Amino acid sequence: MDFESITEQDRLNFSALLLLSYFPEAKLDSVFGLDSENEEQRYKVEKLLKLYNIGSSSELRIIVHNYQAGDYANASIYQIAEELRDYNEEQFIDFLSEIESPPKLNKYKLIYPQRFYITDKTLLGYNYSLSSLFIRLAGVMGYMTAEEIHLRHIDLAKKVAKQFDTWAAFHQNVLLGHQLFAYSLEATPSIYPQHNNLWSNLLHIQASYPEWFKKSV
């Protein structure tokens, strides 16, 4: 992407797919995405942040920093992809037979077909999208002002532009990252159920806002 051509709306779009996944009522063109005065929406934000062990402004800022550094939804997946990189299908089946943990088994099955992509591209797009999501939700909770959110998104846009040439490449990374990590929430759907998947979100946005994501910014 060309950093100079990334607009303010483009920066908000970094988190659009994830924002709609958790909050179908979100307004994608607003800075926070949600109404900070709406008690029901604030309650939903609190529930989501609780899943990530975020209960304060300082904790949110730490997790935003770590996602942008690729320290969370990237490192462990990259290590597994590296581990599986040279396995042929027969070797991989034998490897799976030794795994007893169902969640771990599921994770390895998801990563194996994408192992070459992950070792080459990593999952920084997914990290960046999560970072953008939490930056916007910080505004809902009163942890950040609109001005700070604006400045943080400018900084984030530089990182996105450095790693991705097109919106399609960025979204591919976000979709894959979400697929690999969504299974971890399946064991506790009552805590925070998923409303719709990211692919549906992307199709919806493309239909509702045809000018978004069409250009190679």
Mean pLDDT of 10-37: 95
Quote the CA–CA distance of 50 and 27 in Å, as a whole number.
Answer: 22
Quote the CA–CA distance of 139 and 141 in Å, as a whole number.
Answer: 5
Mean pLDDT of 105-125: 89
Residue 108: CB partners within 8 Å, gap ≥ 6?
80, 84, 95, 96, 99
pLDDT, tens digit, 9 for 90 and up, residues 32-91: 999 999 999 999 999 999 988 899 999 999 999 999 987 665 667 888 999 999 999 999
Task: Reply yes or no on whether the pLDDT at 184 is more than 60.
Answer: no
Statement: the pTM of the whole predicted model exceeds 0.75: yes
Alpha-carbon Rg for the chain, nearest whole angstrom, is 18
The residue type found at 42 is R
Buried b (16+ CB within 10 A) or exposed e, 114-140: bbeebbebbbbbbbbbbbbbbbbbbbb
Percent of the chain past pLDDT 90, that is, above it, reads 64
User: Are 216 and 163 in contact, with CB atoms under 8 Å apart?
Assistant: no
Mean pLDDT of 92-121: 90
pLDDT, tens digit, 9 for 90 and up, residues 158-180: 999 999 999 999 999 999 888 88
> In which band, very low, low, confident or very high, does the pLDDT at 122 lie, cut at 50, 70 and 90?
confident
Domain spans, the chain: 3-74+122-208
The residue type found at 19 is L
> In which band, very low, low, confident or very high, does the pLDDT at 217 lie, cut at 50, 70 and 90?
very low
**Residue 190 dihedral angles phi and psi, to the nearest 5°:** -70, -25
Task: Reply yes or no on whether the pLDDT at 192 is more than 50.
Answer: no
